[in-house]
Amino acid sequence: MASTDNIFERRRRAPFAPWFKGTLNTVGSIAVTMLGLLFITFVIGRVMPIDPVLAIVGERASQSTYDEVYQQLGLDKPLIVQFFYYIWDVLHGDFGTSLLNARPVSEDIARVFPATMELATLGVIMGIVLGVPLGVMAAVKRGSWIDQIARVVALVGYSMPIFWLGLMGLLIFYGILGWVGGPGRLDIFYTDIVPTRTGLILVDSAIAGDWTVFRNALSHLVLPASLLGYYSLAYISRMTRSFMLEQLSSEYVTTARVKGMSEWKVIWGHAFKNIRVQLITVIALSYANLLEGSVLTEIIFSWPGIGSYITTALLSADMNAVLGGTVVVGLIFICLNIFSDLLYKVFDPRSK
């Protein structure tokens, strides 16, 4: 009787073993990735031909002042000790002080990141809403004019330099036609009118009920967001088309059609359903690339986001700001990968 009870007890506990093992593997993978990211940024900060002490005290400072700051920064300690201090500070949200404005880098990143998030989020939404249906229709109508348009759209999206498209967009839609707002997030007249709650201008103006500011912010946002959305559309539509072509050539699709199932159900109920997991990765990578790779777009449109912040800091030899921004961007990639894994478990029960 006791042995039977033990068997039932092991069966009852068995489902938790895979879950615990998967969770442990995920946590370990995150820890190793994060440690590697911190190590790389630490090494970059040490091999750059920039003296952080001189950047703080200036070239005319005395030797005693130089030595004092050198010790305060912990540069007199062994590299391994400096690395552990660096990890400790980052884990507490301390990226040091910016040399440009003498403010904590973490505060600067918290101030500029919402601008990039707002821009990239609207861009990836455009890419999903337009790119997924375009990719599906291109696969279904393979070789037709729809397919040719989709392929040209993707090719131009990959080929055209983003700075050229941005400048042309400003020249035509802002300079000549006047349909959109110019560089920046707002006209000067509307700056600081709406209280900052989330850092997202559209959200803050909607919360405040100031629709004049909302419309002005939207007019500034629509052109750079459309530019990023076009690049996201090109990537998502191309990958969607590729995934759908593979599914539509499968035997189960042929069987469903032979049985008389409607084309709509075959395409969206069967073929598209089987590519959702793959699209999750594509969309997550696209979003991460927009958050991290919108540097040129932010510079062209004078958009005060994290891309412009890192670029300005790099040109000014503000390595604390550069490394802080780099760590945040790396964390974004890690978090989006984790989010993708969670969605895998929702859409694909076999991955649980």
pLDDT of residue 8: 45
Q: Which CATH class is domain 105-351?
A: mainly alpha
Q: 8-17, 68-77, 181-190, 340-349: which has the highest mean pLDDT?
A: 181-190
CB neighbours (10 Å) of residue 149?
A: 13
Span 50-98, pLDDT tens digits: 677 776 776 777 778 877 777 777 777 788 888 888 888 888 888 888 8
Looking at 46-50, 105-109, 174-178, 338-342, which range is the least confident one? 46-50
Residue 316 has pLDDT above 80, yes or no: no
Looking at 15-29, 162-176, 199-213, which range is the least confident one? 15-29
> Which pTM value belongs to this model?
0.80
Residue 308 has pLDDT above 70, yes or no: yes
CA neighbor of 225 nearest in space, from 115, 102, 310: 115
Reported confidence tier of residue 351, pLDDT bands at 50, 70, 90? low
Task: Compute the mean pLDDT over every residue in the chain, rounded to the nearest whole number.
Answer: 81
Tally the C-alpha atoms within 13 A of residue 208's C-alpha that lie toward its C-beta: 19
Average pLDDT over residues 240-254: 86
What are the structural domain ranges in the chain? 2-91, 105-351
Q: 115 or 260: whose pLDDT is higher?
A: 115
Instruction: Report how far residue 84's alpha carbon sits from residue 81's, in angstroms, rounded to the nearest whole number.
Output: 5
Reported confidence tier of residue 128, pLDDT bands at 50, 70, 90? very high
Residue 14 has pLDDT above 60, yes or no: no
pLDDT of residue 17: 56
Average pLDDT over residues 231-238: 90
CA neighbor of 343 nearest in space, from 278, 292, 288, 293: 278
pLDDT of residue 20: 57
Strand, coil or helix: 48: coil
pLDDT of residue 126: 92
Residue 19 has pLDDT above 60, yes or no: no
